Amino acid sequence: MKKDISIPDGPTPEDDPGDSQAALLIANQQLALQNRERAHQAAALAMANKELAFQSREKGKRAAELAIANKALAFENKEKELRAAELIILNAELTFQNQEKEARTAELIQANKELAFQVKEKRKRAAELLSANKKLAVRNYENEQLAEALTKANIALVSQHKEKELRAAELLIINKELESFNFITSHDLQEPLRKIQAFSTRILTEEYEQLSTKGRYYFERSRSSAQHMQNLINDLSAYARTSVQDRKFEKTNLGKIVSDVMDSLKERLQQTHAVIEMGRLCDVNVIPMQFRQLLRNLISNSVKFSMPDIPPHITIDCVYVPAEKRDPADFPLAVDHHRISVADNGIGFHPDYSSRIFDIFQRLHPKDSYDGTGIGLTIVKKIVENHHGVVTAKGTEGGGSTFIICIPARQE
């Protein structure tokens, strides 16, 4: 409550000057107090006005929300009316269905009797199924083992595909280089070698008798080296051709290819009394020219590395192997393929050399014991790779050797 304080306009004669000053000080303090109270009241009033404005805005929002809710409620009421009409129809249908159920009840009684009979039959079948399930469990285990093997094979296949993609780019470059190399070996290297051989022939026919024993020795060494170089150039040219020539696959009878090779090696086979035994020779999808070179190299190898005083005996066989019956050790790809084997009774080789035997210039025997360039089996491996296949070698020292070639039955 406000207090009214009257302040005299000036000092009265009765007032003491000191009392007047004290009264004035008190009046000022009371006035300051009143001002602070008024300021507090003004702030409270401002706050109340803000709250009133906020409440007004909230009421406006609620009014809008209520308007929307009323519309939704009106819509729901209409929907309820529609549902009510639908329920009337559904009740009529339900009444009809109840009548139908009564009719079906009699049918169910009869069906239950039949079901009881079927239950007895099912129990009989259950015993049979139990026995069948045991057999199925065994088959499932076998299938799991097969699936695991197939998974490993597929992983290997994915890895091989990645390797092939990497090699494809390299092969494009290598093929161009091999084309250039093949041209060089066919022309540039052959020409000076022909001259060396021509001059050697002239020396042999015209000057040989005049050479000293030491001169003849060096002359024979020169001729032997020239012939070795000729063989090396021929083998390198053959290897280059396996990489650059067109790869046109044709369905060809393997027996026909073997016969062609035997004709080309007729004199050598007769000299060594070699016997070639042809087993089951089926039709294969191959590049004929390359496969003739492959079999020629293998047969020549068998003749060259035959046992002393024992005629070479070479067995060639071919079988068709479905994908599901393949031996992953022979052929990792899960496709139908042909398995071709070339076995002989020659000197063989140590099993440790089974993989190294296909390396270029790899020789397992002294050069002075057996001639050759060490490229023949490298060409065999290259030709098999051109046919998307795998070649492996098995052998024992003094027990002969066997080369196994697996190529897909269908080529793309």
- What's the alpha-carbon Rg for the chain, to the nearest Å? 53
Q: Which residues contact 251 (CB under 8 A, 6 or more apart)?
A: 283, 284, 285
- All structural domains of the chain with their residue ranges: 19-161, 249-412
CATH number for the domain running over 249-412 = 3.30.565.10
Q: Tell me: the pLDDT tens digits for 88-128? A: 998 888 889 888 888 888 888 888 888 889 888 888 888 88
Please state which of the ranges 7-11, 94-98, 236-240, 382-386 shows the lowest mean pLDDT: 7-11
Mean pLDDT along residues 132-136: 89
Please state which of the ranges 271-275, 276-280, 370-374, 377-381 shows the lowest mean pLDDT: 370-374
pLDDT at 2: 47
- Neighbour order of strands in the sheet with 401-408: 275-278, 313-321, 337-344, 401-408, 390-395
Buried-state track 39-70, b at ≥16 Cβ within 10 A, e below 16: eeeeeeeeeeeeeeeeeeeeeeeeeeeeeeee
pTM (predicted TM-score) = 0.48
pLDDT at 208: 76
Encoding tokens for residue 209? 């008798």
Q: Tell me: the pLDDT tens digits for 176-187? A: 665 565 555 555
pLDDT at 230: 65
Encoding tokens for residue 160? 């091989």
